[in-house]
Structure 1
């Protein structure tokens, strides 16, 4: 199909596909009609299109099936989202669910760029004009986040080289978005998505285009030093060097998926690179947490590593903030994104982990301590603030709630906001699950305590915004509010995008495990089953080795040939060992340099200490000689005769 765009008087633009039953005239009539009979007729027609789009999206089959055609369905759903009322709500919910679970396919790129342009247009031309915050703005932010996340994964594969014109068309909207992000500072749920859109688009456009027109002048030096913040790796996809932290997180995911015995070794290497989470290039760190979070949903050791990495990150950030002379606002202005990302990930682990032990650990932690079991009550100012023991939900809630104030660090506010916001959504997700009554009751009690004791209006807004998003969505393009219809299946969390990203990155960074990367959606011509079966048998026959008496080898192997997983484990072991040797050499050099520096510092301290002793001795005794050092004898003292007692003492001193 061809991507073509028209701009109408109301600011909405459309793209026409063959055999599409939705047109600009239909949407304009739907939004402007005042006749009840015609309104019901148009509403019925829109509902039929919604049902047809649901089938084409494959919402019940995770975007797979012969009847599924995602690019065309995405465009039609974006058309329907221009309609007012419940049709708009249902269309946006369908689009968010489809972008969450759909697979990565190169054929999706034209439609993804159209969706990106549409969402940015509605943000800049419709949402920013409104005075108040609307729930549809949150949905548009989440949809835009998923779109640009998918574009960034395609960028890592090097598939955006032929889409420079599409990137140029996005830049005016991105430029406007970069200057319109201030109203969302109070809402980290939206602000984090906006920051992710700007960061990914800045990196993509910087690599694919010669210049980027939406970079602020004060941030030019930061963007020029992006490459210097990232350590070099042998693999360099699409000209973008991924960090060691992201690479090792993908290796952990591959080990978990293949049941590799090298998992513990890879986790040890991952912990060694935990300091990379503190670098300014936070996009790789966010992706690394996504991938490691997916592994943590399946393995307890991965969950422990995830919590340890985030605990070290949070402790170091808070210690830097406490040291006012060494703290710079610009250096820590990005850290809140990592914390908010982690709060979302740990909430998803509590809901969608494979076992009940993993879900319980994500909520109350590993240790059976009193702080995780007792009812959380807000402390008075005179009480001692709790220390950060673990990074599970309840421990983080207790830690952030004790440090919240008007002048607190942004990490504290965003972390506290993210926990409360996600717990409201968790409570909504568990509303019909009778087997999780205890789990739901613990979250409910925590939220009730927050409503009663928390006086910070920003945290109370987190509860109100989450409830409004789930229960009472409001149309930002009309003057009336409307309830969502009962047949809408709204995705509270993004359940599948992390799994899709982990699989795609594992195929990209470890191509030896799976040769097929980002398959094409082109349909293979159907063949007769009998012919296909015969061809398959012939191909199998050609693989058999038949030996004659002369050709039979003298020695046959005593053990069977290794299977695919054994070979994959060996290849992964070789790669990990190779990088581990490089890391050990770097570690030895660093240890040698540190020891030399310690010896030099020790000698300097001893010298300073001795000089202080001599200075004090000179002040008290008025002598410049060292302790236990005889003064120089004068000529008069040498000529003066000594009696027997002094002679004996003098001789003893000499010997």
Structure 2
């Protein structure tokens, strides 16, 4: 596993999942789908174990082409069911069935496998939270863990498909953790027990993945998530000692930071609660945001707690708020600066280092680097993007030679925790025996810079940002001699499915499929939205519907009567506007004053639109009047010109206009008459002259 990465997913033959549980699960989903359609249309083709074996083993070109066409049709059907273009919403979308089918399709080798995993990753990134998704999520979790433990560990090389599997597993278990906070996993003990053997095997993957922090971070989050969930859910069951359960649950509660109660019955630390409050205020542009951020900084020490899963969620949520507001971005960077300074101070003191174990701290640092890279790409304002990349400090030292990475100079202080600021700080402290936080933080920055450069390809508006990132990577490639940093570049290239060098192919356009899996664009927003609904629940709606308990037949009449009486009181919340849980508003319902402000804003906007319409009409009338005046002025001017022309030339025709036929004939007659009269006059004058000459001569 410590050997170089192979980019081609074709050379990674995953085994076929032959468990009867999977087949029953797929048959159950397909049967439900047929029942919903009332047997009007049956699916023309379904992925089966026999099809997968034929697809992977056949050598007949004609049969291979037929199977490939069938697999492509299945992918298109799954793509529609996943709702990739509509963020997982629509009447044609059914995520549990689509997830199950896509897992089966992903067992086919080659491009089909690669595209299926990309589709699954994209769907898990942007899909909403729904209680009905839980069985399918456990099915996905078991499938991904099966592939990692039973297939990937047996390979001598690290494959690009393996990277995708860990990223998909990261999204799955993040979602399960949110359901755990809601208290929805109590009835899924059997599913959790089925995951135990795979998690136990995955816990021994440290030696295989310790050189690849991007993969190891996903694995650690999977293991930490299930450690918290299983210890709370499984130990609280009836199959163990209740006294020991209470003690162990108390220990878990102390790790979780039991401060803020929630409706789901799970408690979280104050830092996560305040980060969620900050995101809620940033969404509504509330004036209380500054106070929330001030209180948030009082709980910055919670970032150093050993139960770092809450810290990861807090950074994800605050990172989403930082995409909207500069104050939130400043708070996020201040949190990480304080965390790094505290960790490095403790690591330098050998006595405290024995008492405090911060071997987990690199997970928090790596999550922060990834969150900041996503914020740099997907912020709402360009000023936020610049700050995330360069920082708030205008000092020349922060931008001085970040690209040069000179290690012979004095080691700089941690001035800011922007991307380039951390690059300058970590690169100056890199050595063969440096702390784990240092080299993993440096690795994470280089790895994410390569992905950012790839994501920005083809975006002409961000050419300046991409050129700066490209120059930084070029300097790293030329001056960095540490092999671990070059591994980060190779891993990023393999993950992007690009065998070419990103330093020479920067003008190449990237396909949409390759871009979809670079970063998780929506999972942070989905988590922040779900936690906001949990900590600040609205009055009339829940983002995750409650579980449906079994009801005895004896009490059905009483229940129906009670429900009928409640319907008359409660069903005022307009089902037409919210036909499904997934279409509920993404922001908590506002309070009375916020509603008043929104209503006043709506009234002002309405009157302003009327005023604009009136002004437009007046402007149109003025323009029409000015046009008529100009036209009349032109006519009068033309008449004056024609009048002067007629006086001078004695012509009534317009310039460059031929006269009519009658006028020509009249003018010709007039000319002939003039000629005749002139001739008669000239003859008469000649006769007179001759007469006078004769008279003179006679005298």
* TM-score normalised by the chain length of structure 1: 0.74
Q: CA deviation at 1:132?
A: 1.2
The answer to whether the aligner puts 1:311 opposite 2:327 as a matched pair is no
The answer to whether the aligner puts 1:98 opposite 2:123 as a matched pair is yes
Q: CA deviation at 1:326?
A: 2.1
> Which residue of 297, 320, 325 corresponds with 1:271?
297
The answer to whether the aligner puts 1:359 opposite 2:378 as a matched pair is no
Name 2:97's counterpart in structure 1: 72
The answer to whether the aligner puts 1:374 opposite 2:405 as a matched pair is no
Q: Distance in 1 between matches of 2:107 and 2:487?
A: 28
Name 2:617's counterpart in structure 1: none
Q: Distance in 2 between matches of 1:520 and 1:205?
A: 21
The answer to whether the aligner puts 1:227 opposite 2:253 as a matched pair is yes
Show the 5 A alignment for 1:447-526: 447-472=473-498, 490-512=516-538, 515-519=541-545
Q: CA deviation at 1:469?
A: 1.3
CA-to-partner distance for each residue in 1:517-564, whole Å, 9 max, x for gaps? 224899xxxxxxxxxxxx9xx9799xxxxxxxxxxxxxxxxxxxxx96
Q: Distance in 2 between matches of 1:473 and 1:568?
A: 57
Query: Any conservation in 2 of the 1:148–1:197 contact (CA below 8 Å)?
Result: yes
Alignment gaps of 5+ in structure 1: 1-7, 214-220, 475-483, 523-534, 542-562, 571-655
Q: Distance in 1 between matches of 2:547 and 2:358?
A: 43
Q: Distance in 2 between matches of 1:405 and 1:12?
A: 47
Q: Distance in 2 between matches of 1:126 and 1:188?
A: 21
Q: Distance in 2 between matches of 1:496 and 1:447?
A: 27
Name 1:552's counterpart in structure 2: none
Secondary structure at 1:327 match in 2? helix
Query: Any conservation in 1 of the 2:405–2:424 contact (CA below 8 Å)?
Result: no
Q: 1:246 to 1:43 in 2, by over 3 A?
A: same
Query: Any conservation in 2 of the 1:167–1:205 contact (CA below 8 Å)?
Result: yes
Q: Distance in 1 between matches of 2:547 and 2:56?
A: 35
The answer to whether the aligner puts 1:136 opposite 2:161 as a matched pair is yes
Q: Distance in 1 between matches of 2:222 and 2:15?
A: 27
Query: Any conservation in 1 of the 2:412–2:425 contact (CA below 8 Å)?
Result: yes
> Which residue of 48, 54, 65 corresponds with 1:23?
48
Name 2:199's counterpart in structure 1: 174
Name 2:426's counterpart in structure 1: 400
Name 1:577's counterpart in structure 2: none
Q: 1:10 to 1:266 in 2, by over 3 A?
A: closer
The answer to whether the aligner puts 1:185 opposite 2:210 as a matched pair is yes
Query: Any conservation in 1 of the 2:118–2:513 contact (CA below 8 Å)?
Result: no
Q: CA deviation at 1:362?
A: 0.1
Q: Distance in 1 between matches of 2:511 and 2:114?
A: 9
Query: Any conservation in 1 of the 2:322–2:329 contact (CA below 8 Å)?
Result: yes
Show the 5 A alignment for 1:203-352: 203-210=228-235, 225-236=251-262, 238-328=264-354, 331-352=357-378
> Which residue of 466, 490, 505 corresponds with 1:440?
466
CA-to-partner distance for each residue in 1:483-503, whole Å, 9 max, x for gaps? x99866632000000000000
Q: CA deviation at 1:257?
A: 1.5
CA-to-partner distance for each residue in 1:567-590, whole Å, 9 max, x for gaps? 3769xxxxxxxxxxxxxxxxxxxx
CA-to-partner distance for each residue in 1:16-52, whole Å, 9 max, x for gaps? 2325611111111000101111000000110011111
Query: Any conservation in 2 of the 1:321–1:327 contact (CA below 8 Å)?
Result: yes
Give the superposed CA RMSD: 2.9
Q: CA deviation at 1:179?
A: 1.7
CA-to-partner distance for each residue in 1:467-492, whole Å, 9 max, x for gaps? 11113489xxxxxxxxx998666320
Count of residue pairs brought into register by the alignment: 512
Q: Distance in 1 between matches of 2:15 and 2:84?
A: 34
Q: Distance in 2 between matches of 1:564 and 1:29?
A: 53
Secondary structure at 2:357 match in 1? helix
Name 2:148's counterpart in structure 1: 123
CA-to-partner distance for each residue in 1:607-653, whole Å, 9 max, x for gaps? xxxxxxxxxxxxxxxxxxxxxxxxxxxxxxxxxxxxxxxxxxxxxxx
Q: Distance in 1 between matches of 2:389 and 2:515?
A: 26
Q: CA deviation at 1:72?
A: 0.4
- Could you say which structure has the larger radius of gyration? 2
Q: CA deviation at 1:324?
A: 2.2
Secondary structure at 1:241 match in 2? coil
Q: 1:9 to 1:193 in 2, by over 3 A?
A: closer
Q: Distance in 2 between matches of 1:314 and 1:148?
A: 27
Query: Any conservation in 1 of the 2:419–2:445 contact (CA below 8 Å)?
Result: yes
Secondary structure at 1:78 match in 2? helix
Q: Distance in 1 between matches of 2:407 and 2:465?
A: 30
Query: Any conservation in 2 of the 1:285–1:338 contact (CA below 8 Å)?
Result: yes
Q: 1:539 to 1:77 in 2, by over 3 A?
A: closer
Name the stretch that deviates more: 275-284 or 376-385: 376-385
Q: 1:345 to 1:78 in 2, by over 3 A?
A: same
Query: Any conservation in 2 of the 1:107–1:520 contact (CA below 8 Å)?
Result: no
Query: Any conservation in 2 of the 1:513–1:568 contact (CA below 8 Å)?
Result: no
Q: Distance in 2 between matches of 1:419 and 1:196?
A: 19
Q: 1:368 to 1:28 in 2, by over 3 A?
A: same
Name 1:597's counterpart in structure 2: none
Q: Distance in 2 between matches of 1:337 and 1:540?
A: 43
Name 2:222's counterpart in structure 1: 197
Query: Any conservation in 2 of the 1:349–1:362 contact (CA below 8 Å)?
Result: yes
Alignment gaps of 5+ in structure 2: 1-13, 31-42, 240-246, 501-509, 549-567, 575-587, 596-699
Name 2:626's counterpart in structure 1: none
Q: 1:342 to 1:452 in 2, by over 3 A?
A: same
Query: Any conservation in 2 of the 1:249–1:292 contact (CA below 8 Å)?
Result: yes
Q: CA deviation at 1:222?
A: 10
Q: CA deviation at 1:317?
A: 0.5
Q: Distance in 1 between matches of 2:539 and 2:289?
A: 16
Q: CA deviation at 1:254?
A: 1.1
Q: Distance in 2 between matches of 1:305 and 1:411?
A: 21
The answer to whether the aligner puts 1:415 opposite 2:441 as a matched pair is yes
Query: Any conservation in 1 of the 2:232–2:252 contact (CA below 8 Å)?
Result: no
Name 1:87's counterpart in structure 2: 112
Name 1:35's counterpart in structure 2: 60
Name 1:53's counterpart in structure 2: 78
Q: Distance in 2 between matches of 1:279 and 1:305?
A: 19
Query: Any conservation in 2 of the 1:80–1:91 contact (CA below 8 Å)?
Result: yes
